[in-house]
């Protein structure tokens, strides 16, 4: 299950499943993608959305459609399949919303079949390019906030955080990095490996060791899966503890997230879906009667603990999020689907 790796002058335990090259999974179809989502097999929302786009494009290009309505039907089936298994990861939810907007466009217009497929592939590839551009911009903005010779800390794994560190590396800054396991899936080991590959000295600790590693950090940055209209950040369990520790030790606590993670549903009064997962992921033991093992994947960090949110549009305060949202962008049919999804 594990192997020991030597990097940056220290020995670490590295989980093999974190070392797999994701390129071998680039030709995913929808059912394979759904299986991966249901197993929480992704390390970050950027990677998740990227694969979602690729598999839906593959479905469109490989489909045997006789008319545009067939294309619309397949697209909506894909949306429903993913929605049945996904947790509240807003970039994915927002991608599904865009898919439903496209479904409605197809149903309102009489496009020829080939044109319908081409339009679907084009809008998905454009969204993929937009996401890459957002990550790049977040990296550029975040890099300026990391002092040369400083100590950078993070939790779990995040494409936005890695973009910042890649830009720090490109600028030639010398920093040290600390990260944490993020149990039970240990996404932090992926961060550890990727940071080490950038050439930085990196230390990884257990989640319980967070107050040991945070002191003397110059900046703490995490990714996010959703940000509500009142500036709450929905992130991997353990992130709230990190934010509290940062407040205790006077370390600036930032969230790196593009605006696709803004939760339009919160403006509609819909709660975030429960993120509890099977207890067997935490421990393989017999549970005594009347007892339970908690395995909640995500938690909400209150805005008062957040120094700022690094977006592709700049660094913003949690209190400014609602003014940056546009609920009119929601597909009416997608809203109906999400009401059912959020309450079941």
pLDDT surpasses 60 at 225: yes
pLDDT surpasses 80 at 162: yes
Predicted pLDDT of residue 280: 80
The two structure tokens encoding residue 277 = 């997962």
Predicted pLDDT of residue 316: 97
**Structure pTM?**
0.83
- Average pLDDT on 246-268 reads 90
Handedness of CA 225, 131, 60, 331 (dihedral sign): positive
Residue 94 and residue 43 in contact, taking contact as beta carbons nearer than 8 Å: no
Identify the weakest region by mean pLDDT among 3-17, 60-74, 267-281, 323-337: 3-17
Any catalytic annotation for residue 274?
no
Q: List alpha helices for the chain, DSSP H.
A: 30-38, 45-62, 68-85, 90-108, 113-143, 159-170, 188-197, 210-213, 239-248, 264-267, 332-342
Closest CA to 55 of 74, 27, 36, 83: 27
Condensed to tens digits (0 to 9), the pLDDT of residues 172-217 reads 999 999 999 998 888 999 999 999 999 999 999 999 999 999 998 9
- Average pLDDT on 150-179 reads 97
Catalytically annotated residue among 40, 207, 225, 258: 225
Identify the weakest region by mean pLDDT among 12-26, 80-94, 178-192: 12-26
All domains of the chain in start order, with CATH = 19-136 (1.20.120), 138-342 (3.40.50.10470)
């Amino acid at each position: 299950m594990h192997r020991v790796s030597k990097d940056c002058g220290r020995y670490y335990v590295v989980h093999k499943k974190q070392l797999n090259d994701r390129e071998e999974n680039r030709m995913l179809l929808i059912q394979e993608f759904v299986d991966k989502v249901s197993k929480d097999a992704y390390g970050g929302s950027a990677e998740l959305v990227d694969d979602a786009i690729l598999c839906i494009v593959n479905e469109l290009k490989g489909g045997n459609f006789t008319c545009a309505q067939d294309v619309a039907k397949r697209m909506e089936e894909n949306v429903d399949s993913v929605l049945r298994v996904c947790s509240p990861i807003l970039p994915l939810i927002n991608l599904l919303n865009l898919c439903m907007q496209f479904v409605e466009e197809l149903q309102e217009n009489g496009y020829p079949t080939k044109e319908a497929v081409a339009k679907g592939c084009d809008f998905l590839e454009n969204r993929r390019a937009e996401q890459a551009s957002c990550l790049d911009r977040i990296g550029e903005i975040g890099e300026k906030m990391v002092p040369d010779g400083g100590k950078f800390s993070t939790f779990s794994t995040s494409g936005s955080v890695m973009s910042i560190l890649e830009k720090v590396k490109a600028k030639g800054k010398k920093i040290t990095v600390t990260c944490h396991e993020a149990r039970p899936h240990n996404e932090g080991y992926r961060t550890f490996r990727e940071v080490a590959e950038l050439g930085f000295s990196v230390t990884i600790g257990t989640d319980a060791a967070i107050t040991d590693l945070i002191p003397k950090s110059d900046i703490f940055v995490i990714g996010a899966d959703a940000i509500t209209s009142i500036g709450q950040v929905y992130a991997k369990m353990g992130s709230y503890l990190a934010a509290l520790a940062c407040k205790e030790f006077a370390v600036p606590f930032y969230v790196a997230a593009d605006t696709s993670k803004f939760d339009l549903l919160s403006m509609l009064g819909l709660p975030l879906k429960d993120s509890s997962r099977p207890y067997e992921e935490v421990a393989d033991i017999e549970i005594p009667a009347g007892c339970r093992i908690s395995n909640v994947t995500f938690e909400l960090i209150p805005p008062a603990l957040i120094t700022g949110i690094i977006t592709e549009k700049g660094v913003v305060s949690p209190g400014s999020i609602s003014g940056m949202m546009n609920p009119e962008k929601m597909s009416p049919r997608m809203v109906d689907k999400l009401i059912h999804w959020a309450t079941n």
